């Protein structure tokens, strides 16, 4: 943490701002797609300021400036040219399943990081640091909150921590019962996420509120229902009976974190708690989830996301903002240019849809309202000519919008020289292990659409399990293909469980999740990757490379040309 001698003001953290600006300004925002700008905003925001933010609350003005820099960059504004921000920063900063882009606002992230310090302070009974700070600020019992009254002697660190304790930890903690010496039976959250007093039937006797859990417990008898019974509803009585106090093994009452299933504190769950809405919104989670699961390049998914928020700058919208004179469609001149007109009903698009929409979907296709239309098409499980319908649909609407913008702004001529549609490259990867776990290797090969060798690798890992070896193969294979700037990739893997991890994700607690997450990092980049399962026999070349790796030194070995491995035909037959 920065050593602070003087009082903080906005200059103290000027350096953080300067670094964030410099990192983002290094990129010409206009040459990056919105998808590229989103990735960059997230990575810069999450890397540079976190260090300063995790020890102290930055001044409001610094936080606002941080958010302002990111916001402008995301929407493509530069010093020379202001771009319209199509959605408020608050909405952009929501989690993806709540309709945002999952960017974290600096203000809320700062608080979440500082809360972590407060949580450690409460939990950590042994470190010198925690003991010193607790003593200095007289932070003892969570129930006695006199230490929350601000004093002029407070350091910047403690001011932030005290705020975190008050605003986040207090509402975000609950107790795990041990010996009942600390839990206030009626006032604390311990049996459920709410204090029992909120469920009490009838008025509690005056002094009852301060009773501790141990006061309600009769050793050898259980809970004292003569004192509890009259005030507790049946269901809670039953729940109470399932809990016991434990004086025997010396367990003490502990606080645990409500925001996660296992009671462990995490910055991301604190962030969720801080940004939670007081009033629950209409639940659109499955709608937004679908958008981010459509198999298409990130920029296409971002376009679907903008469409779902109905913020495309159609002529109707541009006229409203006095950016043009007419709300009539530039292409057909036959109607108001609304979003649905541009993407579906304009004769130029309708003609295309007529040809590609599967017959059984055609009837409802042209009748539904915008959001229903989007949802129906991105969640349809229809496959048309080997390609999921949602992919075709997403690319078609995105392409339709590009084409429309080209017409409106007169840029379509420029597209003529473009290279023909890119082909699908194929990546085969495989892992091999001698025992499970045992000495392990992986290999992979990248070939073009005609099966010609582009690149291959062999990896000598050391010792690990078979699925882990397979995943390392996938990871390095994806990295190799990404470095080669392959636009579309079919990834063939022969271990079904690994295909499952890549397609459906993995529990965070799973021991392989760290590597699956890294692989997902590649899958979510701005390219098209199809993951498929093949039988081991079809993966011979990758298998050959993996076996070859046993004879190589530890580490990664790249082959730009076909390596002379005996018995393997470069075409993989
Ligand atoms: Zn039209």
Q: How far is the CA of 540 from the centre of ligand 1 (A)?
A: 52
pLDDT above 70 (res 176): yes
Give me the mean pLDDT over the 16-33 stretch.
69
The CB-based long-range contact list for 320-327 (8 Å cut-off, 24+ gap) reads: 321/84
The encoded tokens of residue 538 equal 């079809």
Greatest mean pLDDT range, 146-150, 214-218, 303-307, 557-561: 303-307
CB-CB contact of 65 with 59 (8 Å): no
Determine what percent of the chain is predicted with pLDDT higher than 70: 88
pLDDT of amino acid 336: 92
Q: For 295-326, how does the pLDDT look when each residue is reduced to its tens digit (9 = 90+)?
A: 888 889 999 999 999 999 999 988 888 888 88
Q: What is the C-alpha radius of gyration for the chain, rounded to an integer number of angstroms?
A: 29
Q: How far is the CA of 371 from the centre of ligand 1 (A)?
A: 19
Q: How far is the CA of 414 from the centre of ligand 1 (A)?
A: 22
Q: How far is the CA of 350 from the centre of ligand 1 (A)?
A: 9
CA 237 to each of CA 190, 223, 224: distance values in angstroms, whole numbers, following the listed order:
14, 10, 11
pLDDT of amino acid 137: 72
Domains, the chain, with CATH or none: 14-104 (no CATH), 285-417 (no CATH), 425-559 (3.30.420.10)
Q: How many other CB atoms are found less than 10 A from the CB of residue 487?
A: 15
Q: How far is the CA of 404 from the centre of ligand 1 (A)?
A: 9
CB-CB contact of 20 with 49 (8 Å): yes
Mean of pLDDT over the chain: 81
pLDDT above 90 (res 374): yes
Q: How far is the CA of 341 from the centre of ligand 1 (A)?
A: 6
CA distance 461 to 442: 7
More confident residue, 398 or 514: 398
Q: How far is the CA of 506 from the centre of ligand 1 (A)?
A: 44
Q: How far is the CA of 337 from the centre of ligand 1 (A)?
A: 6
Give me the mean pLDDT over the 51-69 stretch.
81
Q: How far is the CA of 329 from the centre of ligand 1 (A)?
A: 5
Q: How far is the CA of 345 from the centre of ligand 1 (A)?
A: 7
- With cut-offs at 50, 70 and 90, classify the pLDDT of residue 215: confident
- With cut-offs at 50, 70 and 90, classify the pLDDT of residue 377: very high
């Amino acid at each position: 943490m920065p050593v602070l001698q003087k009082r903080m003001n906005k200059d103290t953290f000027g350096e953080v701002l300067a670094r964030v600006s410099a990192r983002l300004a290094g990129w010409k925002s206009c040459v990056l797609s919105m998808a590229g700008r989103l990735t960059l905003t997230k990575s810069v925001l999450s890397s540079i300021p976190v260090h300063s933010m995790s020890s102290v609350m930055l001044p409001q003005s610094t936080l606002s400036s941080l958010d302002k820099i990111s916001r402008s960059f995301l929407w493509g504004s530069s010093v020379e040219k202001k771009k319209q921000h199509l959605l408020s920063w608050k909405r952009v900063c929501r989690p993806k399943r709540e309709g945002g882009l999952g960017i974290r606002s600096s203000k809320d992230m700062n608080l979440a990081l500082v809360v972590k310090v407060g949580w450690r302070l409460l939990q950590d009974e042994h470190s010198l640091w925690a003991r010193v700070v607790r003593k200095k600020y007289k932070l003892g019992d969570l129930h006695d909150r006199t230490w929350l009254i601000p004093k002029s002697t407070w350091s910047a660190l403690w001011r932030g921590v005290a705020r975190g304790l008050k605003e986040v930890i207090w509402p975000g903690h609950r107790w795990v019962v041990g010996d009942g010496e600390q839990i206030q039976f009626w006032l604390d959250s311990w049996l459920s996420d709410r204090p029992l007093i909120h469920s009490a039937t009838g008025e509690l006797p005056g002094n009852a509120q301060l009773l501790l859990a141990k006061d309600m417990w009769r050793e050898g008898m259980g809970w004292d229902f003569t004192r509890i019974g009259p005030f507790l509803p049946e269901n809670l009585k039953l729940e109470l009976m399932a809990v016991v106090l434990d004086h025997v093994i010396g367990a003490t009452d502990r606080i645990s974190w409500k925001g996660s299933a296992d009671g462990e504190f995490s910055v991301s769950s604190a962030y969720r708690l801080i940004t939670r809405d007081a009033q629950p919104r209409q639940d659109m989670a499955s709608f937004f989830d679908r958008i981010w699961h459509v198999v298409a390049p990130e920029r296409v998914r971002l376009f679907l996301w903008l469409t779902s928020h109905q913020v495309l700058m159609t002529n109707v919208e541009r006229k409203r903002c006095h950016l043009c004179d007419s709300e009539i469609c530039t292409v057909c001149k036959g109607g108001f240019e609304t979003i649905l007109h541009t993407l579906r009903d304009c004769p130029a698009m309708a003609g295309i849809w007529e040809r590609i929409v599967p017959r059984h979907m055609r009837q409802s296709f042209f009748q539904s309202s915008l959001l229903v239309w989007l949802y129906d098409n991105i969640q349809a499980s229809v496959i048309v000519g080997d390609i999921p319908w949602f992919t075709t649909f997403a690319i078609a609407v995105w392409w339709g919008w590009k084409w429309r913008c080209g017409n409106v702004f007169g840029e379509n001529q420029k597209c003529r020289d473009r290279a023909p549609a890119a082909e699908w490259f194929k990546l085969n990867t495989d892992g091999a292990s001698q025992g499970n776990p045992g000495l392990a290797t992986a290999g992979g090969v990248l070939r073009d659409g005609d099966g010609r060798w582009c690149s291959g690798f062999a990896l000598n890992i050391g010792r690990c399990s078979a699925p882990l070896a397979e995943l390392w193969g996938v990871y390095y294979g994806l990295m190799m293909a990404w470095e080669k700037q392959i636009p579309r990739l079919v990834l063939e893997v022969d271990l079904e469980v690994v295909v499952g991890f890549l397609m459906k994700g993995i529990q965070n607690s799973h021991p392989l999740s760290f590597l699956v997450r890294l692989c997902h990092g590649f899958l979510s980049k701005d390219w098209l990757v199809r993951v498929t399962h093949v039988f081991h026999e079809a993966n011979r070349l990758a298998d050959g490379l993996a076996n070859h790796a046993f004879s190589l030194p530890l580490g990664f070995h790249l082959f730009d040309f076909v390596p002379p491995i005996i018995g393997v035909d470069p075409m993989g037959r």
